[in-house]
Homo-oligomer: A and B are copies of this chain.
Amino acid sequence: MRFGPASDLRVARETCVPPEKFVDMVQIDLHSPPGTTGLIPNAVIGRLSLYVRELQQLIRQNVETVNSDGLARPLGLTAAQVRKDLAYFGNFGLRGIGYRCGELLDRIRAILGTNQRWPVILVGAGNLGRALLGYRGFADHGYDFIAAFDNDPRKIGTHLAEQIPILNLESARKIVQTAGVRLAVVCVPTDVAQEVVDFLCASGIGGILNFAPVNVSAAKPVQIVNVDLAVELEQLSFAVVQRVRSS
């Protein structure tokens, strides 16, 4: 089965907003809050994602408004923490009422940049890569895989999930640039992870989510988040042997 990369990609691209928009949206909302430095704590961002998930669930249940405790408790957080987190970005609540679920969801998505869809590329079409490509959560949060890259000649030219083309890694540069792709998910073997990351950085990618179990570093403006699944299991097994700390 043959395909023309450019045309495959153009379709996916159409649904995506020019990335530059996001920057403005976020910066408008930032109202450098109470007694803080102006930088948003990393932990806050992690929790915003959790709020999104919880709000989506509430909305599915037709809940109109939720107060800080209602949002916090199912996530194992405190009401004060929720209010503080949201206050970093503005006054989203209604005193005496709480937060309108729909509105709050929109606001948080605007902050995270997920009120528009992001095109994402996958590098490494092995087991894990293929599973991630089918992972519902990514699509639910606004991320669309538009292409995959691999260096196995037997895979190149085929498609994943019947529509995502697997291309030669060399062609990633062009696609990153022409399709305005800013995010890449990397699932390649450990020993080539760093060179793949270097290549992506040189291609003008904005951020990399790395699943290879090795700490790779990225050239300056490129953001990198390393996910090591074994680390999570180790956290857990430590907690089990200790029987302390809730995590």
How far does the Cβ of A98 sit from chain B's closest Cβ, in whole Å? 19
Name the B residues within 8 Å of A34 (CB-CB): none
Q: What residues of chain B lie closer than 8 Å to A134, measured between beta carbons?
A: 127-128
Question: Chain B residues with Cβ under 8 A from A242's Cβ?
Answer: 23, 26, 40
User: Contacts A39-B244, A215-B53 hold; do A234 and B141 have CB atoms under 8 A apart?
Assistant: yes
Q: Are A238 and B131 in contact (CB under 8 A)?
A: no
Say yes or no for A140: interface residue by CB 8 A criterion.
yes
Cα(A244)–Cα(B74), bound, Å: 30
A168 to chain B, nearest CB (A): 23
Interface of A, helix, strand, loop or mixed by DSSP: helix
- B-binding segment of A43-51, A78-86, A99-107, A150-158: A43-51
Most buried by B among A40, A111, A113, A182: A113
Question: CB-CB contacts of A129-150 with B at 8 A, as 1s and 0s?
Answer: 0111011111011010000000
Complex contact B233–A247 (CB within 8 A) = no
- How many copies of the chain does the oligomer comprise? 2
Residue in B closest to A218 when the chains form the complex, CB atoms = B246
Binding-face segment, A7-15, A172-180, A195-203, A223-231: A223-231
Contact with A114, one of B113, B208, B237 (Cβ below 8 angstroms): B237
Q: Which residues of B contact A52 (CB under 8 A)?
A: 234
Residues of A bordering B, CB below 8 Å: 19, 22-23, 26, 39-40, 42, 45-46, 48-50, 52-54, 57, 74-76, 111-114, 118, 120, 127-128, 130-132, 134-138, 140-141, 143, 182-183, 185, 190, 206-209, 213-215, 217, 221, 223-225, 227-247
